[in-house]
Amino acid sequence: MINAVFEKQIPAPELDLSNLRRSIQEEYTAVAETPQQGFHFHTGRPLAHMLGYRDKWLEGIPEASIESFAGTGNPFSLGKLKPGERVVDVGSGAGIDSLIAAKMVGPAGHVVGVDMTPAMLAKARRAARETGLDNVEFREGYGEALPALNGWADVVISNGVLNLMPDKSAALQEMARVLKPTGRLQIGDILVQKAVPASAKRKIDLWTG
């Protein structure tokens, strides 16, 4: 059943990666700055409920983080985050999952959210200040080159981001690198049930829409 999302790890040779990244940044800058405009994917609190996010998880999370939520799954349904654990959130967006994780791991734990979109990082950092949580930080970076040390994390989470990375193998290897031995990967993402032709993989607007 798993097909194109995982089978083909390298981008189409003609795909302009810098253009792709720029297009994705533009899309998610809009999700950060004008979340009410409506996108080709669900966003915000209705999406969180659709994906099974519990009301108690969202308590104390700033509305700014919730309104720009654009995940595709529920990393927290895959395993409990324990007090004291270290978590890396790949593609942290406006911070909702990182902030939920920070509450779960408590003051003895630490969360590093990583995102490549400046508008999302700014929104996440403002939200973190608003919560007063001091066990969470947001770093600018790419999933294919995570700004985190080898073996630092107990858990890597990510939600609706891996599908946006042209080199998924590199991103998964980075997730493995930053995890401790026996560390857990808990991911929300997408799969496609029909083969994606090479010609479609070259169309940047199909990556974002």
72 binds another protein (CB under 8 A): yes
Closest CA relative to residue 181, chosen from 153, 146, 149: 153
Name residues whose C-beta falls within 8 Å of residue 164's C-beta, 6 or more positions apart in sequence. Answer: 24, 91, 207, 208
Binds another protein (CB under 8 A): choice among 73, 93, 109, 113: 73
Please count the residues of the chain.
Answer: 209
Binds another protein (CB under 8 A): choice among 10, 22, 34, 50: 50
Which burial class, exposed, middle or buried, applies to 86 when counting CB atoms under 10 A from its CB (0-12, 13-18, 19+)?
buried
Cβ atoms of 77 and 54 closer than 8 Å: no
Query: Which region, judged by CB under 8 A, interacts with another protein, from 14-22, 41-49, 97-105, 106-114?
Result: 41-49
Nearest to another protein of 12, 122 (CB atom): 12
Binds another protein (CB under 8 A): choice among 19, 22, 34, 79: 79
Q: How far is the CB of 42 from another protein (least distance, A)?
A: 5
Nearest to another protein of 22, 180 (CB atom): 180
Nearest to another protein of 18, 36 (CB atom): 36
What does the buried/exposed string (b/e) look like for 95-117 if buried means 16 or more CB atoms within 10 Å of the residue's CB?
bbbbbbbbbbbeeebbbbbbbbb
Residue type, 10: I
Query: Which region, judged by CB under 8 A, interacts with another protein, from 13-21, 53-61, 75-83, 140-148?
Result: 75-83
Question: How far is residue 54's CA from residue 41's CA, in Å, rounded to a whole number?
Answer: 20
Nearest to another protein of 70, 133 (CB atom): 70
The count of residues interacting with another protein (CB under 8 A) is: 49
Tokens encoding 192: 């496609």
Question: How far is residue 62's CA from residue 94's CA, in Å, rounded to a whole number?
Answer: 10
Hey, which residues between 138 and 197 contact another protein (CB under 8 A)?
A: 150-151, 160, 168-169, 172-173, 175-177, 179-194, 196
Q: How far is the CB of 158 from another protein (least distance, A)?
A: 10
Question: How far is residue 5's CA from residue 185's CA, in Å, rounded to a whole number?
Answer: 17
Residues that bind another protein (CB under 8 A): 2, 4, 6-7, 9, 38-42, 47, 50-51, 72-75, 77-79, 150-151, 160, 168-169, 172-173, 175-177, 179-194, 196, 206, 209
